[in-house]
Amino acid sequence: MLNELINAIKKYKIWTYLSFQEIKTRYVGSYLGPFWITITQIILVISIGYIYGGIFSIPPEEYMPFLTCGFVYWNLISGILNEGTRVFGSNRNYLNEIKISPLLFCLKNVCSNTIVFLHNFLAVFVIFYLTDYEYTSRFFLSFIGLFFICINGFLAIITIGIICERFRDIPSLITNILQISFFVTPIIWDPINFKSRAVIILQLNPFWHFIEAARAPLLGREVELYTYLTIIMLTFVNFFIAYFTYKKFSNKIIYWLQ
Partner 1 sequence: MIEAKNLNIEFPINTFKNFSLRKSLIQNVTRSLKVGGKISKLEKKNLSVTALSELNFKIKEGDRVGIYGPNGSGKSTLLKTIAGVYPPTGGEILVTGKINNLLNIGFGFNSEASGRENAKFRLILAEYDDKEINDILERIKDFSGLDDYFDLPIKTYSSGMMFRLGFAIISQINGDIVLMDEWLSAGDSAFLEKVNNKLKDILKTTKILILASHSKELIKSNCNKILQLQNGKIDYYGDIKNDF
Q: Which of residues 21-40 bind partner 1 (CB under 8 A)?
A: 21, 24-25, 28
**CB of residue 28 to partner 1, shortest distance in Å:** 5
Separation CA 73–CA 149 (nearest Å): 9
Nearer to partner 1, 99 or 195 (CB): 99
Task: Give the DSSP H or E segment for 223.
Answer: none
Query: Crossing angle for the helix pair 60-84 and 103-131, nearest 10 degrees?
Result: 170
Asked if 115 contacts 22 with a C-beta cutoff of 8 angstroms, the reply is no
**Number of neighbouring beta carbons within 10 Å of residue 46:** 18
Identify the residue among 1, 39, 100, 241 touching partner 1 (CB under 8 A).
100
Return the range that interacts with partner 1 (CB under 8 A); candidates 19-27, 30-38, 123-131, 227-235. Answer: 19-27
Q: Is 6 a binder of partner 1 (CB under 8 A)?
A: no
Q: Is 18 a binder of partner 1 (CB under 8 A)?
A: yes
Q: Is 132 a binder of partner 1 (CB under 8 A)?
A: no
Asked if 256 contacts 165 with a C-beta cutoff of 8 angstroms, the reply is yes
Q: Is 170 a binder of partner 1 (CB under 8 A)?
A: no
Return the range that interacts with partner 1 (CB under 8 A); candidates 7-15, 37-45, 50-58, 141-149. Answer: 7-15
> In angstroms, how far is CA 230 from the centroid of its own chain?
17
Separation CA 195–CA 15 (nearest Å): 44
**Residues that bind partner 1 in the complex, under the rule CB under 8 A:** 11, 13-14, 17-18, 21, 24-25, 28, 93-100, 166, 251-252, 254-256, 258
